[in-house]
Amino acid sequence: MNKDQVTGALKDAAGKVQQKTGELINSPEQQAKGIAKQVEGTAQKKVGDVKQALKDAAK
């Protein structure tokens, strides 16, 4: 795993926590921020996946 994969997974997890917290406290703003963080994390993880695939292909 590379840095982007790890960071992306962490952002995704943090976004899920933030979204659930927003649901518990009835805060649509926190829910939206959590969803946005999940999307950002997923995108970063995909970038890391591509980098890893390229690195593996170059071997």
| Residue located via tokens 């994969």 | 5
Question: Is the CB of residue 39 less than 8 Å from the CB of residue 58?
Answer: no
Whether 59 shows a pLDDT value over 90: the answer reads no
Give the pLDDT confidence of 40-54 residue by residue, as tens digits: 999 999 999 999 999
**Which range of residues forms the domain containing residue 7?**
3-57
What is the count of structural domains for the chain?
1
Give the pLDDT confidence of 4-43 residue by residue, as tens digits: 999 999 999 999 999 999 999 999 999 999 999 999 999 9
